[in-house]
Amino acid sequence: MIAIVNVFLKEGVLDPQGKAVHHALDTMKFEGVEDVRIGKQIIIKLSETSKAKAIEEVTKMAEDILANTVIENYTIEIVE
Amino acid sequence: MRKVAILQFPGTNCDLDTKYAFEKMGLRTSIIWHKETTIEDDVDLVVVAGGFSYGDYLRSGAIARFSPIMETVKTYASNGGKVLGICNGFQILTEARLLEGALKRNENLHFISRYQTLRVENNSNVFLSSCEKGEVLNIPIAHADGNYYIDDEGLKTLEENEQILLRYCDENGDNLNVNGSVSSIAGICNKEKTIFGLMPHPERAIEDILGSEDGVKMLKGLLSL
């Protein structure tokens, strides 16, 4: 089973990298870009076969280390 | 003050400078490798030195906080032991939730490395007890992730409890936001004023020939421990 964890800075926490890329897209004349947020994706291969247990385990990983919940939010997607 | 213990993680690179600085001030020091789990009884200050622990992978300080020595540091701190985190050490202490807030990428995305003036915000703590409130110090900064974040409510609490130690400023002492930090904050302490964290490097400002001796003035307060 594979878990995909996406980590992003929370709304309201300025994302300097997203802002720089947004500026670049504007410079390149891409129109209609309203916001750009940059995060990271962590792909975890698990031996667990129960989806519920996998989510429970990965949630703990996200809370403990993968995300800093002072400034970041995360989403978890289980695939396969 | 009997002895200073300096933590060393894989990627720490300010441990020996920190050791040199404290020894120059006449103190005994020891270096503790991160896999150790004991802090000697005669240690009056634990310093989490600067550098790039674990290559700053994931987030600065995120992996170091799980090193075996950090559990011991938490116990040491909960018993009132004094802890000072410099640069990456500050990042490690926030990741370990020993200090509030978080440090994220500088607003301009640059690694900033230069001498920087700082204003002493509060001296009602042992760390800055030898400095005057409002005094301007010249201390090097060297970081990519020094952009301090805390929410509005947290900021209010820091201000009310006199937990803000230092703010970035210009030569006249007026606020100067060098990296995007909330309220130009360069250093804070916990509510009990026993755990201190700052992005600037006082251990790099201990000799006039290298540009400034203000680091000595800053660290001197700790001699009274």
Burial status of residue B74 (CB atoms within 10 A of its CB: 0-12, 13-18, 19 or more): middle
Q: Of B123, B128, B49, B126, which is closest to residue B93 (Cα–Cα)?
A: B49
Considering only the beta carbons, identify the residue of B95, B105, B150 that sits closest to A16: B105
**3-class state of residue A30 by DSSP:** coil
Q: Determine the Cα–Cα distance for residues B57 and B48; give it in Å rounded to an integer.
A: 18
Q: Number of A:B CB contacts under 8 A?
A: 33
Amino acid identity at A48:
E
**Does the CB of A20 have a partner CB in chain B at under 8 Å?**
yes
Among this protein's residues, is B189 annotated catalytic?
no
Give the single-character DSSP code of B50: -
With residues binned 3-state (H G I as helix, E B as strand, rest as coil), the percentages for chain B, rounded to 5, are 30, 30, 40
Q: By residue range, what is the domain housing residue A49?
A: 2-78
Angle at alpha carbon of residue A60, lines to B65 and A79, rounded to 5° = 125
Q: Of A39, A25, A73, which is closest to residue B105 (Cα–Cα)?
A: A39
Q: Determine the Cα–Cα distance for residues B119 and B173; give it in Å rounded to an integer.
A: 6
- ipTM, 2 decimals? 0.88
From B87, B131, B169, B189, the catalytic residue: B87
What are the residues of chain B with a beta carbon less than 8 Å away from any beta carbon of chain A? 58-59, 62-63, 66, 94-95, 101-102, 104-109, 147, 149-150, 180
List residues bridging with B45 in a β-sheet.
Answer: B4, B82
- Taking only the tens of pLDDT, chain B with its 225 residues reads 899 999 999 999 999 999 999 999 999 999 999 999 999 999 999 999 999 999 999 999 999 999 999 999 999 999 999 999 999 999 999 999 999 999 999 999 999 999 999 999 999 999 999 999 999 999 999 999 999 999 999 999 999 999 999 999 999 999 999 999 999 999 999 999 999 999 999 999 999 998 999 999 999 999 998
What percentage of chain A carries pLDDT values higher than 90?
A: 95
Q: Determine the Cα–Cα distance for residues A71 and B62; give it in Å rounded to an integer.
A: 13
Radius of gyration over every alpha carbon of chain A, rounded to an integer in angstroms: 16
Q: Of B116, B68, B134, which is closest to residue B215 (Cα–Cα)?
A: B116
* A80 has pLDDT over 90: no
How confident is the model at residue B213, as a pLDDT?
96
Backbone CA torsion sign across B51, B56, B60, B66: negative
Half-sphere exposure for B151 (CA within 13 Å, toward CB): 8
For the ranges A3-7, A12-16, B38-42, B81-85, the lowest mean pLDDT is seen at A12-16
With residues binned 3-state (H G I as helix, E B as strand, rest as coil), the percentages for chain A, rounded to 5, are 35, 30, 40
Cα-Cα-Cα-Cα dihedral of A21, A24, A29, A30, to 10°? -10
Q: What is the pLDDT of residues A28-71, one digit of tens each?
A: 999 999 999 999 999 999 999 999 999 999 999 999 999 999 99
Q: Of B88, B81, B173, which is closest to residue B136 (Cα–Cα)?
A: B173
How confident is the model at residue A50, as a pLDDT?
95
Number of domains observed in the structure of chain A: 1
Considering only the beta carbons, identify the residue of B101, B102, B105 that sits closest to A17: B105
Q: Determine the Cα–Cα distance for residues B27 and A4; give it in Å rounded to an integer.
A: 49
CATH number for the domain spanning A62: value is: 3.30.1280.10
